[in-house]
Each structure stands twice: as C-alpha cells, then as structure tokens.
Amino acid sequence: MAWKALTRWLALLVLAFASLQLFFVLRIALMAHVDPQSTTFQRSQIWRQLASDGSFRWKQQWVPYDQIAPALKRAVIASEDDGFVNHDGVDWAAIEKNWERNNRLAEQAVQRQEANPAQQVKPVKIRGGSTITQQLAKNLLLSGERSLLRKGQELMLTMVLEQFLSKQRILEIYLNNVEWGEGVFGAQAAAQHYFRKNASQLTHAEAARLAVMLPAPKRFEKQPQSAYLNGRTRVILGRMGRTELP
C-alpha cells in the first residue's frame, strides 16, 4: 500500500510539473500576438512595496516596437547582450568567459587575503552572462529565487521564447517591461520619468544612460551622478554604432 501511495504521489507531481510547463508554453505562444499586462517580477515588486508602506508606485505604458528609439534598442543590446541577434537564447561563449573571469578574480582575492590577513578584501562581483532572452524568461514567469532548479526552468523557457517569438518581439516585450527605477517599468515610463519625453525621442546619450542603469536601476536612480554610470555611458555610446538590430 505504501508503495502504491508513493507511486500515486510521484505521478501527481509529474502531472503537475507537465501541466505547469504546458501553461508556460501556451502563455508564451500567446505573447506572439498579445502584449503581457504584467510580469511576475513586477507583481513581486508591488507586493514588496505594499508590505513596506502600504502603497505602491507603478509607471508603465506599452509602446510598439517602432515607437521606441533605435538608439535605445542599440544601447540596451550593446550593454546587456551584444550577441542578441545571433545566439539562440543562451550565449555559451559569454558564460564560459565570465566563468573563467569569476574564478580568476576569486583566486586573486584569496591570494590577497592570504598575503595580508588583516586586510578586508571586497567580495568578487559575479558575472553570469544572462542574455536578454534569459532575463525576459526570468522576469516574465519565474520567481527571484536562486537555485539550480529555477535556472534549469529559466533555460527551458528561454528556448521556448526563442522558438515562438521573433527577436524583434522578444526585444519589444523586454523593453516594455524591464525595471528602470522604483515602480518605473518599460522604455516609455523611463523616458518620461528621467527626461520628460517619449521613448521615440531619446537621444543617443540618453539611451546609453538608461541602458547602463539596467543592472541596478534603483541604485542608479538615487545616484544619478555616479562615476561608474557616467563612465560606462561613454563606453556604451562608443559601441552603439556597431550594434546590430533585429
């Protein structure tokens, strides 16, 4: 009896997992024609704000792909995923490069600590090499937890996104939903929040600045004169002319 019960529970778990995957696939297929109204990440931010002070701030306005300045598209690709138009959703070369870089810096940190035990060594800033498609998969449908299971799910959804949606559609959904500050989501809201203009009117310098904010938008929103932000913006401006658009 115990074995039968265990088998039944395992079968139910497999069925639940398969049903969840089917739900994800159908939802992504629908996004080829229907704009998503919100993402899992956005909803989590609303709950965080509600838990913090009982209110929430949410600025977002969907704009079609052709109403987003080409400069912003180029800047975001140059900053976040310069191989976007060519890879199949996962940039394995970038992952390998960042893995080697992370290991090298970690070894150097250990050596510095061993050479001077009294000195406090800053922790290594880990780079993961996530593509725009991977970021979209995570923000659209998954929680923010860090685990091998969630990473595996992210990779699967990345492949599904690439299978059902064009590169242009992936970039359009990404730019309309990505976070650009506290309660600021999407290119149109960001353009209005920071520059009091529409996303279609952004200059190259403004676009580069917004792109550089993406890894930590809440922090850079509070530190608009950050030396890193200014320096990195100049770097991205230099790369934008070589960036290929979908």
* In-domain check, residue 3: no
Within a domain: 196: yes
Q: How many domains does the chain have?
A: 1
**Averaged pLDDT, 186-206:** 97
Instruction: Inform me whether the pLDDT recorded for 177 exceeds 50.
Output: yes
C-alpha closest to that of 89 among 173, 175, 159 = 159
Among the residue ranges 113-127, 136-150, 228-242, the one predicted with the least confidence is: 113-127
Which residues neighbour 90 within 8 Å (Cβ) at sequence distance 6 or greater? 131, 133, 134, 155, 158
What's the distance, CA 11 to chain centroid? 34
| pLDDT for the residue 111 | 53
pLDDT at 124: 44
18 occurs within a structural domain: no
User: Residue 184: is its pLDDT beyond 90?
Assistant: yes
Domain membership flag for residue 115: no
Between 125 and 245, name the one with better pLDDT: 245
66 domain residue, yes or no? yes
Instruction: Say how many CA atoms lie within 13 Å of 203 toward its Cβ.
Output: 6
Q: What is the pLDDT of residue 154?
A: 86
Q: For residue range 43-79, what is the model confidence (pLDDT) as tens digits?
A: 888 888 877 777 778 899 999 999 999 999 999 999 9
Return the higher-pLDDT residue of 80 and 14: 80
Q: Which domain holds residue 238?
A: 57-85+162-246
pLDDT score of 189 more than 70 = yes
Mean pLDDT over the full length of the chain: 83
Q: For residue 233, give the CATH number of its domain.
A: 1.10.3810.10
The tokens describing 86, both together, are 């060519």
The CA distance from 31 to 93, in Å, is 29
Tell me, yes or no, whether 24 lies in a domain.
no
Residue 28 lies in a domain: no
Task: Give the up-direction half-sphere exposure of residue 48: CA atoms within 13 A in the CB hemisphere.
Answer: 10
**Residue 153 confidence (pLDDT) above 90:** no
Q: Output the pTM of the full model.
A: 0.84
Q: Within a domain: residue 37?
A: no
Per-residue model confidence (pLDDT) at position 213 = 95
Cα separation, 169 vs 192, whole angstroms? 23
Q: Is the pLDDT score of 208 beyond 90?
A: yes
